[in-house]
Structure 1
């Protein structure tokens, strides 16, 4: 603790006090479950947009992305070049369904489209995968506190979880969003300081790029059609686009921010923030990792996620370690608070209120939301401890684990939006087939002599989702036959309903009906083209 220094401690403590103050201030307006789950629904779109960015760009990115680039070079960036395509699909197709429902949970849409069983199954899949995500996020932050302060990693996990639970239970989603704004500012300030020093260090940028090119670390667009390698263009633009559509469009934690917007235009603008900013952010993180590879001459690290911290410590800039500690703590607390809030919202809206207390009061649902927030925080602790000591980039490990779940999730929402003949019975069979097929591919099935097939984890979403769609459609046709009309909650069904009832397709200049593309959303396709051109040029440098 003494080595950390008074100035560094002052920075961290000031940040923690600011976070707690925001949580307490936000709590004044929380008088109902709706306030807890969606806030006042009067927050500015830019705050919601920063929250969308900060929730996904967590400490996993701050620590894991440089570690990943240190190992694989700029090729790893291909996994994160697809955000314009992702946001284009989400705001055009999925977001209008969820926003128009007015419900706090996106899984209510599935009940309208298929039935209560589908809603419950997908909500359970979300909760199972999200609590694992929560655990890995807090472990990423514990790397920082242990490295910098010497606090035992298990104690660090307990302290961080307790702090996040405190302000999330009190302030709800509004506290989450406004602390996200503070936390994102600190996170990007920390990254900027590190990048500035790398660019102005003893090795000129031109020489650094030359060394990276010689080491094969500068190739950002790996066009080899090799399904055993994760960071390729085909995996990034194909498989990982589907993966991130699930993260941003079929994930309660992310969509909940858009549902808190006062208009659908604000909801879409909040998502456009990530569509335009996502690549720039991840390019910065991966460039830091590549430049660190040059700085440390490619020497392997026992714990790769500490690379950026080792470099910052070597700079000996007063207050820098405190800023980085605050940055990584802020990123962690941002993602963790969003995770706990979405888990509590799903628990109350999709289970407690749906099955156990349909006629409860707002006050009962509010206290239930707080109780479930605490419950999920406690459940995440032993899972966090299990993550301690895991090797490699924690960002890559988390994304790999998440790939097991996204195929079934995306296929379910996709079939709901675009399939005419899918039924609930067929869909449930398809979901089971999705997990079974993926398990056999990844682990094999020795009783039948089936060996595992070596395939990179980005393609899990294609395998799982493809199996889900194929089996669902076949089972639906066998069990119920062809359906005569489009369901009201499909994209064609919604457009037919709007036309039949003479409903306005736009609200304040933004499309309310699913399947219609707004002007600013078209710009995302142009932005994606510019990203491809930039990366094509970038990998020729040096």
Structure 2
């Protein structure tokens, strides 16, 4: 509980730090101009690597093999590359939010419907995220569901409100670092446990564990070229448009500095 309290206090402290450094509305909303590619990349990765990505997607990979990379890994990488190519064209647009961008192209009639759709979708995402993390607190700390959800919601609201999207970016960096370390450690622990005969399974070597799969498991095109194209063409546009405008504006500032 002490470590949890220190962790949450650290996230709020990041928000407080950027609260002192953001004097104007644009910097509050647009991550300022000091965020570099590394921090923005970590933020994007943390936004996409959720509890579902760790649990459900890993299970899907284990069942489908290398062919499953087209459902999550490849679209993420392609979306980041496409976003990088588009930054130079959109960085000078006089807009911060996605409704503003669409309004410039299609007129004012689309601004409010798009804003409403984004608001509803983001509320649902927020509810799912708060619920997922509160479940973690319930399991590991034995907290009441209501208290667990309140801790998550209040902590996130504090650092976002205090520090704006700069705080979001840097708390994402911290969270992604912890998440990566945890995921890698759990992978080694799980493989080691199975290899040693844990979970009631006979002890086998790591080479036998990874080699005991059909050859098709290693084929990245095992799902077929048509399915590969469907996955890429259906998912990549969503990954691109999902990126919040703050990260886009942060890239804007980063390119201005480099220019």
**TM-score range with shorter-chain normalisation?**
0.7 to 0.9
- If you compute each CA radius of gyration, which structure gives the higher value, 1 or 2? 1
Q: Which residue of 1 aligns with 2:26?
A: 34
Residues 252 and 65 of structure 1: is their aligned pair in 2 closer, same or farther, counting only changes over 3 Å? closer
| Counterpart position of 1:106 | 98
Report what 1:89 is aligned to: 82
Deviations 1:352-409 (A, max 9, x none): xxxxxxxxxxxxxxxxxxxxxxxxxxxxxxxxxxxxxxxxxxxxxxxxxxxxxxxxxx
1 CA distance for matches of 2:11 and 2:221?
Answer: 40
**Does 2:255 correspond to 1:264?**
yes
Higher helix share: 2
- Of residues 140, 147, 153, the one that matches 1:148 is 140
* Gap change, CA 1:72 and 1:84, over 3 Å in 2: closer
Question: Which position in structure 2 is the counterpart of 1:207?
Answer: 208
Structure-1 separation of matches of 2:22 and 2:76: 33
The separation in 1 between residues aligned to 2:164 and 2:114, in whole angstroms, is 23
2:43/2:173 contact within 8 Å kept = yes
Q: Can you give the 5+ residue segments of structure 2 that lack an aligned partner in the other structure? A: 197-203
Cα offsets for 1:265-322 (capped at 9, x unmatched): 78xxxxxxxxxxxxxxxxxxxxxxxxxxxxxxxxxxxxxxxxxxxxxxxxxxxxxxxx
Match of 2:201 in 1: none
Alignment match, 2:169: 177
Q: Are the structure 2 counterparts of residues 156 and 212 from structure 1 closer, same or farther at C-alpha, using a change threshold of 3 Å? A: farther
Aligned partners of 1:82 and 1:237 also within 8 Å? no
Question: Does the CA contact (< 8 Å) of 2:22 and 2:163 recur in 1?
Answer: yes
In the alignment, is residue 13 of structure 1 matched against residue 12 of structure 2?
Answer: no
**What pairs with 1:296-445 in structure 2 (closer than 5 Å)?**
none
Once residues 94 and 254 of structure 2 are traced to their aligned partners in structure 1, the CA distance between those partners, rounded to angstroms, is 11
Secondary structure of the residue aligned to 1:82 is helix
Offset at residue 236 of structure 1 (A): 4.3
| 2:60–2:68 CA contact under 8 A, matched in 1 | yes
Quick check: 1:89–1:245 contact (8 Å CA) kept in 2?
Answer: no
How far apart in 1 are the matches of 2:211 and 2:96?
51
Match of 1:251 among 228, 234, 242: 242
Structure 1, unaligned stretches of length 5 or more?
1-8, 225-232, 267-506, 509-542
Residue 22 of structure 1 corresponds to 14
8 Å contact kept, 2:11–2:155:
no
Match of 1:135 in 2: 127
Q: Residue deviations 1:477-513, cap 9 Å, x none?
A: xxxxxxxxxxxxxxxxxxxxxxxxxxxxxx84xxxxx
CA RMSD of aligned residues (A): 2.7
1:165 aligns with 2:157: yes
User: Deviations 1:81-140 (Å, cap 9, x if unpaired)?
Assistant: 2334323333334x3443211421132222221101123322222222222122112222
Change (3 A) 1:205 1:236: farther
State the shift of 1:193 in Å: 1.0
How far apart, in 2, do the equivalents of 1:11 and 1:179 lie? 16
Equivalent of 1:197 in 189, 192, 211: 189
8 Å CA contact retained: 2:65, 2:218: yes
Q: Distance in 2 between matches of 1:98 and 1:256?
A: 13
User: Does the alignment pair 1:49 with 2:51?
Assistant: no
Q: How does 1:448-527 map to 2 (within 5 A)?
A: 508=259
The 4+ residue runs of structure 1 with deviation greater than 4 A are 70-75, 216-220
1:73 Cα deviation from its structure 2 partner? 5.2
Quick one: higher RCO (CA 8 Å, sep 6+), 1 or 2?
2
8 Å CA contact 2:67, 2:223 repeated in 1: no
In structure 1, C-alpha distance between the alignment counterparts of 2:79 and 2:156, rounded to whole Å: 29
Aligned residues: 248
- Distance in 1, Cα, partners of 2:58 & 2:26: 39
Are 1:38 and 1:260, in contact at CA under 8 Å, matched by a contact in 2? yes
| Inter-partner Cα distance in structure 1 for 2:49 and 2:38 | 16
Displacement of 1:71 after TM fit?
Answer: 5.5
Cα distance, 1:219 vs structure 2: 5.7
Counterpart contact for 1:79–1:235, Cα < 8 Å:
no
1:23–1:171 CA contact under 8 A, matched in 2: yes
